[in-house]
């Protein structure tokens, strides 16, 4: 394959991931979409027992409001709230003690979120596990909307929708706007992947999973909200997207935090391939096309961008077409750099470096 072949292949990869795959998915969902047999949330049926699990480290300032929110949710079935204190050194224990028997507290040495979640699941008694964070708030019907999907025996996990409170984010932030656009696009993909068969992970801020399908997480897991649900898919069950179950959070305009999140997500997706290589085998992975297009494809895009730039540089001297292509790429990267510099200056001018990007945007 010559340089032109490499260039066009790289362009194809980029175009397919961000244009071709969404188009394929939209048509696929429209033609062969599968509805979920949800329970009627107004019925008097017996609802399954639920264990709500929060892994927290030094979250005392948030936990009181969080637990109050969970206790006020509409749900007629039995439920328990489990908070795993991951080596907390603040007054987490004292804050939780105020709730008495309404909250089960599990104290573990600091070992990271995966081990904390494992500890929470180990003591859970519910048929359905619901995972949440200390930071967000659930909508009143979030719990019942999640659990209603388990009336369908094909459903093994359900992910809710993270709603970003854009009214409180800086309107002059390129990072803030970027997060909002990305999350809108990502939710569109999840909605259509769910309709086809299954999403490719969950929103860590709000998702539920059948207790019988849980497998302990490796201690070094970076993306627990992708690994645990994808194991459900590999078992032959669906992960469905429930857009009526909301978790509310605020977006960040903090560019360094966003960069760290992207690096962690990228590393986590590589890690999952090592943890579950069956995901790369079509006969083992029921959503192989979606996984290769959505997850693996995004791992290839940075390399395709580099390849497109390098081949354009090599081909530009002999072709006006590639000279134009190279000029367009150069202008794009320069504009991106200028935007990043302006955003940093704006953050410095206002002193607003404090807001953290919701960890639940991780995929």
Q: Spell out the SS3 assignment of 186-244.
A: HHHHHHHHHHHCCCCCCCCCEEEEEHHHCCCCCCCCCCHHHHHHHHHHHCCCEEEEEEE
DSSP helix/strand/coil, 33: coil
**Do β-strands 155-164 and 206-210 pair in parallel, antiparallel, or remain unpaired?**
antiparallel
pLDDT of the residue at 31:
94
Query: 210 CB contacts (<8 Å, ≥6 apart)?
Result: 127, 128, 129, 150, 156, 157, 232, 237
Of 352, 249, 347, 226, which is closest to residue 296 (Cα–Cα)? 226
Residue 216, token pair as written in the block: 């302990």
Reported pTM: 0.85
Residue 96, token pair as written in the block: 């939780």
CB 155 within 8 A of CB 149: yes
Q: How far apart are CA 120 and CA 53, in angstroms?
A: 6
Per-residue pLDDT of the chain (363 residues; tens, 9 = 90+): 789 999 999 999 999 999 999 999 999 999 998 888 888 877 767 899 999 999 999 999 999 999 999 999 999 999 999 999 999 999 999 999 999 999 999 999 999 999 999 999 999 999 999 999 999 999 999 999 999 999 999 999 999 998 887 544 444 455 555 556 777 888 899 999 999 999 999 999 999 999 999 999 999 999 999 999 999 999 999 999 999 999 998 765 556 666 677 788 888 899 999 999 999 999 999 999 999 999 999 999 999 999 999 999 999 999 999 999 999 999 999 998 887 777 767 766 665 544 434 433 333
Residue 330, token pair as written in the block: 């150069």
CB 186 within 8 A of CB 180: no
Q: How far apart are CA 298 and CA 175, in angstroms?
A: 20
Of 22, 87, 101, which is closest to residue 57 (Cα–Cα)? 87
């Amino acid at each position: 394959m010559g340089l032109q072949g490499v260039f066009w292949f790289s362009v194809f990869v980029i175009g397919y991931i961000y244009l071709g795959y969404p188009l394929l998915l939209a048509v696929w969902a429209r033609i062969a979409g599968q509805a979920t047999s949800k329970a009627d949330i107004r019925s008097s049926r017996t609802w399954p027992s639920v264990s709500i699990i929060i892994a927290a480290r030094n979250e005392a300032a948030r936990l009181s409001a969080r637990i109050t929110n969970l206790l006020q949710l509409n749900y007629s079935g039995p439920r328990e709230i489990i908070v795993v204190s991951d080596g907390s050194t603040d007054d987490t224990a004292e804050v939780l003690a105020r709730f008495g028997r309404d909250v089960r507290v599990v104290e573990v040495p600091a070992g990271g979120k995966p081990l904390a979640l494992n500890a929470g699941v180990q003591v859970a008694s519910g048929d359905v596990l619901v995972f949440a964070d200390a930071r967000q708030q659930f909508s009143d019907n979030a719990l019942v909307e999640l659990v209603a999907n388990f009336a369908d025996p094909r459903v093994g996990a359900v992910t809710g929708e993270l709603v970003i409170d854009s009214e409180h984010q800086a309107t002059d932030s390129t990072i803030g706007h970027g997060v909002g656009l990305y999350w809108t696009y990502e939710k569109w993909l999840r909605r259509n992947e769910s309709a086809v068969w299954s999403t490719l992970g969950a929103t860590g801020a709000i998702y539920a999973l059948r207790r019988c399908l849980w497998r302990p997480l490796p201690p070094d897991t970076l993306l627990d909200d992708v690994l645990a649900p994808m194991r459900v898919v590999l078992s032959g069950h669906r992960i469905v997207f429930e857009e009526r179950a909301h978790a509310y959070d605020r977006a960040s305009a903090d560019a360094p935090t966003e960069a760290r999140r992207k690096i962690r997500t990228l590393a986590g997706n590589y890690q999952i391939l090592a943890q579950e290589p069956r995901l790369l085998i079509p006969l083992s992975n029921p959503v192989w096309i979606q996984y290769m297009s959505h997850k693996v494809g995004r791992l290839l895009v940075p390399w395709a961008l580099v390849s497109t730039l390098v081949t354009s540089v090599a081909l530009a001297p002999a072709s006006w077409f590639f000279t134009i292509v190279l000029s367009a790429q150069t202008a794009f990267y320069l504009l991106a750099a200028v935007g990043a510099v302006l955003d940093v200056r704006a953050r410095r001018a206002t002193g607003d470096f404090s807001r953290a990007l919701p960890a639940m945007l991780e995929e």
